[in-house]
Amino acid sequence: MKIFINDEAAAWYKDELSLKEGDSLRFFARYGGYSPIQSGFSLGVNNTDPENPAAQTEKMGISFFIEETDSWYFDGNDLHIEFNQKYNEPEFLYKK
């Protein structure tokens, strides 16, 4: 499993969450919402440091990661985070 994030999406998170260089952002499975890969769950985010990352990437000085305890959610998919111009926010794509 890998994480890919484009520059626009990384900049959006950095601005919206007031992240600075050296900060970390976790993507985690949460109950509720919609997901094309896990019924009844969706992807959440929070600003915290990694403990046991299953996947991690860095963009604009920010570490984006998924903990090992949340790897089940991705069901073997890589997480691609792109910026949706229409909605002016990041969107999650899951690709094997």
CATH number at residue 74: 2.60.300.12
pLDDT at 93: 97
pLDDT at 76: 95
pLDDT at 23: 98
pLDDT at 65: 98
Q: What is the pLDDT of residues 14-55, one digit of tens each?
A: 999 999 999 999 999 999 999 999 999 999 999 999 999 999
Count CB neighbours of 15 within 10 A. 9
Look up the domain containing 85 and give its range: 3-95
pTM score, two decimals?
0.94
Count how many domains the chain has: 1
